[in-house]
Amino acid sequence: MLFKQMQEPDSSTYTYLLSCPQSGETVLIDPVLDTVERDLKVLQELGLSLTYTLDTHIHADHLSGAHRLRALTDCRIAYPAIDNLACADIGVKEGQPFRVGQIEIHPLFTPGHTNHHHAYLIDNGTQKMLFSGDALLIEACGRTDFQSGDAATLYTSIHEKFFTLPDETLVYPCHDYEQRYVSTIAQEKQRNPRLGKGKTLEEFIAIMEAMDLPYPRKIDFAVPGNEQCGQCPDNVPEAYRGPCGTRDQG
């Protein structure tokens, strides 16, 4: 399996490229509209054609690159089936592996950051790799104060779906804001200040309720745009309209 991790700096979003060498089928997990040209260049340099995009959830901090990538490459868009997006070509759900050539991706329904959030688990033959989306970050976790988020639900998702995985499972989050790239389940169970060292549900809820985070600066256009797989809505402020070029919108 070919694997590459790439970051969009404004939202600190990681996009993950997975490609099956036997079939040539390739997926981008959580692509960002702002970095579509970079992703296309990487695909070209690697001699790959894009088969799928796959998002973990409807993001609030950036526009997905899914719609534009489909317009430019004829790839297919995959989203959690529970979102029931008219723009998606494929709906994924827990218990039904999503195959990219010989790569078997196992969706995990992990609500709490959003009520429809999914993570993706694969076994590369040596280790398990968890693409945890916004649910579990490196020594952090996703917010639970908007988009039907709920701290108790997130705590249950992490403990039942993530912390039951082997300790050596690699954790690749959708974001990191401190230039970190990968963690493990063992590290998060020990070092995560919100969840580690056996934090109780009550302790976790208290931590999340005390965070007092600012209103997400892109949420008002990112959510409706991502409900259309990353199309730019009319209310995108001028400061963020650069990536919304009409030539790439299909």
Domains located in the chain, CATH noted = 2-231 (3.60.15.10)
The answer to whether 92 and 101 are in contact (CB under 8 A) is no
For residue 125, is it left (φ>0), alpha (ψ between -120 and 50) or beta? left
Distances (CA, A) of 155 to 10, 85, 92, 151, 249: 28, 27, 23, 6, 38
**Separation of alpha carbons 114 and 96, rounded Å:** 21
Residue carrying the six token digits 């010989």: 102
Q: What is the pLDDT of residues 151-206, one digit of tens each?
A: 999 999 999 999 999 999 999 999 999 999 999 999 999 999 999 999 999 999 99
Residue carrying the six token digits 């033959």: 125
Distances (CA, A) of 105 to 86, 100, 125: 23, 8, 13
Question: What mean pLDDT value characterizes the chain?
Answer: 96
In terms of pLDDT, which residue wins out, 249 or 65?
A: 65
Residue 248 has pLDDT above 70, yes or no: no
pLDDT band at 245 (very low <50, low <70, confident <90, very high): confident
Pairing verdict, β 136-137 and 140-141: antiparallel
Per-residue pLDDT, averaged over 13-36, amounts to: 98
Q: What is the pLDDT of residues 95-148, one digit of tens each?
A: 999 999 999 999 999 999 999 999 999 999 899 999 999 999 999 999 999 999
Q: Coil, helix or strand for 122?
A: strand
* The three-state (H, E, C) secondary structure of 28-57, written as one string: EECCEHHHHHHHHHHHHHCCCCCCEEECCC
User: How many CA atoms, within 13 angstroms, populate the side-chain half-sphere of residue 149?
Assistant: 19
Q: CA-based angle 235:82:174, to the nearest 5?
A: 65
Residue carrying the six token digits 């592996």: 97
Pairing verdict, β 76-80 and 52-54: parallel
Closest CA to 192 of 159, 240, 222: 159
* The three-state (H, E, C) secondary structure of 159-196, written as one string: HHHHCCCCCCCEEEECECCCCCCCEEHHHHHHHCCCCC
